[in-house]
Amino acid sequence: MAGTKTLHVGVLTPVNTLDPREAQDYVTALAVMQVFETPYAQPTATGRPPEPLLFQERLRQEPSTDGAMCYSAAIRPDVRFSNGTPMTARHVADSLAKAATLREQAEVEVRNDRLFFRLKRPNARFDLVLARRFCGVTLEVGGKLLGTGPYVAAPGAASESGKRMRLVRNPSYRKPPAIDEIVFQTYPPDASGHPEALINALEAGEVDFTNILSREDIMRVKNVRRWTEPGSSTAILYLNTQRPGLGNVLVRRAIALSIDRLEVAKMFYASATAFAATCLLPPMLGRGSDGLAFDPARARNLLTAPGVTPPERLSLLLIFGPRPYLPNPRRVGEYIAAQIEKLGIAVDLVPTTTSQEYYAKAQSGEYDLALAGWITDTLDPVDFLEATLGTASIPMPHRQSVVGANLGRWNSQETDDVLSRLRQEPREDVRSTLLRRIGEEVPLLPLIYGATIFAHSAKVKNFSPSPLGKPNFADLDLQE
């Protein structure tokens, strides 16, 4: 169409769904947030509280007869879904009640056109929960989910190959965006895991924007503008504590001590020391030490301790594609396998090619080790810790809508209790104690931190990097 402003976004894996409650991976979440709005907007900087987006006001604390934390809020009167339907408190309550992760935290009801939230456990930062992507408000019409965001899925939005997703302006949005349409185009990595097709497309001007490449890859591209933000993600080797052999903490610790995290960081970063993980939390959320220094001699000694029977063979599940925290899963997986095999334990790599395949295997629990990671949804460290360590975040077939990544399947009441304490009082000493404890028990090994890298063409205007790495494309413009 003549005069149409189209932003071409280059990604390495496809957009898998436009249901905010099912948006598990990074690319899908980026697309979902263009279509669906959450009650609160994500903070624009560390330390700032989230601003109401679909609410008229901040949450108001309400009295409770049973001691539970209760909040209420009124919705904005000027919000419409993409078919023109005015948004009501009932719409919001019905939508939020379908979000499994929210249901685990609060009950939602409507009274006199106000939303009321009765928390099932204390959470002084419940407003941040309402800013997470799974709280995107939806209206189901004719089997399709409609949102209130600046864009909607175009007719036939996804290509038959699944490698292209097209979004167009929402005609009912309260402030029409400058860009008419957004096209997410997938450029899969090559057989060795390198993103050559995306790099070439960015270099050729076929791609206007990407935030999925590593810093080393993006430095190879000329004639683009680059932005680097502190890392909000961590690559993680999970040790399935529910599998034979890995139930023994000495075996888990031996595996962790056999892996040199600095060598993993050197695969992708010139300044490797800054990116080699020292604890689970990425730098944006805090610092700490898990005490797991590379020590192959000690690792071998642990496996000869009385009562220790090392497993003869382990499976290593690999995430389905490059992530901001893991530019080349296959390469890292091969390194980890080689290191563990020095302990006399054979390792079989289990690659996956789609998010559906990966999540199905993760939910089944039929793996020994898993190479993946987590990108923070909020600027609250407890959300990151709960997603990777909380019992409720263990992937299960009946929890397909739960956003979490406890692939170590760490089921610890002690850990859950500490997370609950941190919800009520986010004390740094309590958090540090938890991180040290996880370093002792080793349900996971943090490997490297992921930098948030943005690159865009010169014709993209008004871009400002977001702390969590997911920009709102309605804020951008394209130079004619």
Percent of the chain with pLDDT over 70: 96
pTM of the full structure: 0.85
Closest by Cα among 129, 39, 49 to 75: 39
C-alpha 133/C-alpha 37 separation (Å) is 8
Q: pLDDT digit of tens for each residue in the chain (480 aa)?
A: 457 999 999 999 899 899 999 888 889 999 999 999 999 998 876 667 889 999 999 999 999 888 889 999 999 999 999 999 999 999 999 999 999 889 888 999 999 999 999 999 888 889 989 999 899 999 999 999 999 999 999 987 666 567 899 999 999 999 999 999 999 999 998 888 889 999 999 999 999 999 988 877 888 888 899 887 767 899 999 999 999 899 999 999 999 999 999 999 999 888 899 899 999 999 888 888 999 999 999 999 999 999 899 999 999 999 988 888 998 999 999 999 999 999 999 999 999 988 889 989 999 999 999 999 998 888 889 989 999 999 989 998 865 544 568 999 999 999 999 998 998 888 889 999 999 999 999 999 999 999 888 999 999 999 988 878 789 999 999 997
Neighbour tally for 409: CB within 10 Å = 22
**How many CB atoms within 10 Å of residue 289?**
12
Cα 4 from Cα 306, distance rounded (Å): 71
Write the DSSP symbol of residue 142: T
Termini Cα distance of the chain: 14
Which pLDDT does position 404 carry in this prediction?
65
d(CA 287, CA 101): 27
- So what's the pLDDT on residue 209? 96
Three-state DSSP state, 456: strand
CA distance 93 to 266: 48
β-strand pairing of 346-350 with 313-318: parallel
Which residues on neighbouring strands pair with residue 110, listed in sequence order? 115
The whole-number pLDDT of residue 399 equals 56
Distance CA 259, CA 357 (A): 27
Distance CA 81, CA 361 (A): 36
Cα atoms in the 13 Å half-sphere on the side-chain side of 310: 22
Residue 380: what pLDDT?
87
Is residue 452 helix, strand or coil? strand
Domains defined for the chain, CATH in brackets: 6-18+28-35+149-224+457-478 (3.40.190.10), 60-146 (3.90.76.10), 231-449 (3.10.105.10)
Q: What is the pLDDT of residue 400?
A: 52
* Token pair for 275: 């990116």
Give the neighbor-by-neighbor strand order of the sheet with 151-158: 151-158, 164-169, 181-186, 6-11, 209-210, 444-456, 225-239, 369-375, 313-318, 346-350
What was the pLDDT predicted at 31? Answer: 95
